[in-house]
Amino acid sequence: MAYVAIADRDVHLHDPQTFVTKYIWSQDHKVIAIQYSVTAIAVGLVALVLSGMMRLQLGFPNTFSFITPSNYLQFITMHGMIMVIYLLTALFLGGFGNYLVPLMVGARDMVFPYMNMLSYRVYLLSVLVLRASCVVPGGPTGAGWTLYPPQAVLPGTSGAGLGIILMLVSLAIFIVAFTMGGLNYVTTILQARCRGMTLLRLPLTVWGIFMATILGLLAFPALLVSAIMMILDSVLGTSFFMPAVVSMGKGLKYDGGSPVLFQHLFWFFGHPEVYIVALPAFGIVSDLLSVHARKNIFGYRMMVWAILAIGCLSFVVWAHHMYVSGMNPYFGYFFATTTLIIAIPTAIKVYNWVLTLWHGDIHLRVPMLFAIGFIFTFVHGGLTGLFLGNVTVDLPLSDTYFVVGHFHMVMGVSPILVVFGAIYHWYPKITGRMLNEALGKLHFWATFLGAYAVYLPMHYLGILGVPRRYYALGDTAFIPNSVHDVNVAITVAALVIAAAQLVFLFNLVWSLAHGREAGSNPWGATTLEWQTPDTPPKHGNWGARLPVAYRWAYEFSVPGARSDFIPQNEPPEAPGGREHGAKP
């Protein structure tokens, strides 16, 4: 199809004039990305503090009088919801997606800059509504991050009145924000690529963000539908999800609703959500490994296909979260099968990451440490996922710490390690300065080893049958004293990790002024964002002329080339010169 230079059209570039239009109401994708990231990290810190409080209670029960059982459940709920949606989804797509997509595809900005700005504003509103739910009478909801009815709206669950309503309203607002952002990312990737940037020349980061956004666009409506219906149940007394219930001795007005219907809707969103968080991480980690091992990514096409396959399969596995809800065995059999099938493209990706390292010129710089750390934690969490995908294994383990260990390893620690790696990797482009290497290594080792110290023992607790979601274990025959010792150890490790994040935050702020000057391309990377005329890139990204892509994103260590990388926008040499195009 003919090339249509949408990106190159002489459009009004909404140039910022004042401080307010430049930093507050900016339509520049880079400023919006930073706004998204700062907001997401700020709200993520709240969730981190909440997890610290939960660990204090679990490690030292009967010690902290300010943590009541209902507080504890509120902490769980807010921690889970914030980490999954308001931190990871917003940071990967609103933050990295916004910053990297236009730069990597060679565009001046997103195709709908005004909507992009609106997307951040609406996201901010959703965060504020979420925070507001913490100060209303009754406090935030304590229904667990899955918000299962009927308990989520029944008196007796904390925040059953305003708390749950604000939670659902906040989610609905978030989905509107995400949809505005998501339409932007996908349209920009499809329509605003620079000349020469074919789909298979896109870096895997863009592929990951592309597929994750499509998943989000199709899956978030399920959460929206369930949020709208639950708000109606809670406010107007409909019975979409609420069965006939006797609560505290008296029958409620509800009749005939189906709680399982909510579970289907929630997990129809919830499972793709795992990949909405994982796919950008997959993409980013592929690029980090390739750049820092000075080697082209192993099996690039297979990596792209795997991303697409995982995206499709993620829509047909949702009920593996519902094995314990009591389902037809054939239904469970179907979902166990699809769940195990999704391991195939995922395993392909893991093999390819490892094979990219094979015989690579590995530079163990901080982003690379995080990328390699990700391979460990992801393999670990992925393998326990194979256990849990089987109905018969899942049933006894479902309500134990085994599941807590599993999902934190696979979609907590793993994506967060990639987030850190990505920040260390792209911070020089965003600010023009390097992050401090020594502090970065300290941060990495504390976080990586700490994550194992926290989550590995949880698997053993789970196999012992220690139930999750409990405020205190009390005196229970099957729980030996060693469990309490392990809980103390986990709590100490968790607090150490939390403290290590302060090192990271200090590094972020300190390096803004004191970091080493980065130059335009400190890692010797090939992709377009490192080839901008200015660092940090100015408004409009490319100066007078848009870049042209002449090659794919992984020209590292090409035999006979002058340097060990060839940027995507470097023209091929004249005939007779050395060849750059040969397969490395």
Partner 1 sequence: MSVAALFALVAVGIVGWWLFARQLTAKPWEKRQIESDNASGGAALALPAARVGLWLLLAVMTSFFGLLISAYGMRMELADWRPLAVPDLLWANTAMLLASSAAFQWTRWAVARGHAEGVAAGLVLSGLFAFAFLAGQVLAWQQLHASGQFLASNAAAAFFYLLTGLHGLHLAGGLAVWGRTTARIWRIRARLEDVRLSIELCALYWHFLLAVWLVLFAVLMSGTSLTSAFLDICSAIVKAL
Instruction: Determine, following the binding rule CB under 8 A, whether residue 393 of this chain makes contact with partner 1.
Output: no
- Give 259 or 522: the residue with its C-beta nearer to partner 1: 259
Q: Which of 143, 183, 285, 419 forms a contact with partner 1 (CB under 8 A)?
A: 183
Q: How far is the CB of 308 from partner 1 (least distance, A)?
A: 5
Place of tokens 């236009």: 102
Does 147 interact with partner 1 (rule: CB under 8 A)?
no
Among 2, 246, 248, 477, binds partner 1 (CB under 8 A): 2
Cβ at position 265, least distance to partner 1 in Å = 6
Nearer to partner 1 by Cβ, of 54 and 111: the residue is 111
* Angle between helical axes of 29-59 and 98-105 (0-180°, round to 10): 140
Cα separation, 32 vs 15, in Å, equals 14
β-partners of residue 251 are 246
From the CB of 139, what's the least distance to partner 1, in Å?
27
Residues in contact with partner 1, shown as a per-residue x/- string from 259 to 278 under the rule CB under 8 A: --x--xx--x----------
User: Cβ 316 to partner 1, closest distance in Å?
Assistant: 6
- Residues whose CB falls within 8 Å of the CB of residue 273, separated by 6 or more in sequence, listed in order: 84, 85, 89, 216, 219
Question: In 10 A of CB 9, how many CB atoms?
Answer: 8
Give the nearer residue to partner 1 in terms of CB position, either 137 or 326: 326
Using CA atoms, how far residue 341 sits from 98, 321, 353, in Å, is 32, 16, 20
- Cis peptide before 150, with omega less than 30 degrees from 0? yes
234 binds partner 1 (CB under 8 A): no
Going residue by residue from 306 to 345, which x/- string records binding to partner 1, judged by CB under 8 A? --x--xx--xx-x---------------------------
Touching partner 1, residues 497-516 (CB under 8 A): none
Rg value, the chain, Cα: 24
Interface with partner 1, residue 13, by CB under 8 A: no
Q: What is the 3-state secondary structure (H, E, C) of 19-64?
A: HHHHHHCCCCHHHHHHHHHHHHHHHHHHHHHHHHHHHHHHHCCCCC
Piece of 131-139, 155-163, 210-218, 438-446 that binds partner 1 (CB under 8 A): 210-218
Choosing from 24, 200, 395, 502, the residue that interacts with partner 1 (CB under 8 A) is 200
- Contact between 225 and partner 1 per CB under 8 A: yes
List the one residue from 60, 112, 452, 471 that touches partner 1 (CB under 8 A).
Answer: 112
Pick the stretch among 94-102, 158-166, 453-461, 548-556 that binds partner 1 (CB under 8 A): 548-556
Burial 137-161 (b: 16+ CB within 10 A, else e): ebbbbbbbbebbbbbbbbeebbbbb
Quickly list DSSP for 224-282. Answer: HHHHHHHHHHHHT---SS----EETTEE-S--S--HHHHHHHHHHHHHHHHHHHHHHHH
As a whole number of angstroms, the distance between CA 143 and CA 149 comes to: 8
Site for partner 1 in 290-309 (CB under 8 A): 296, 300-301, 304-305, 308
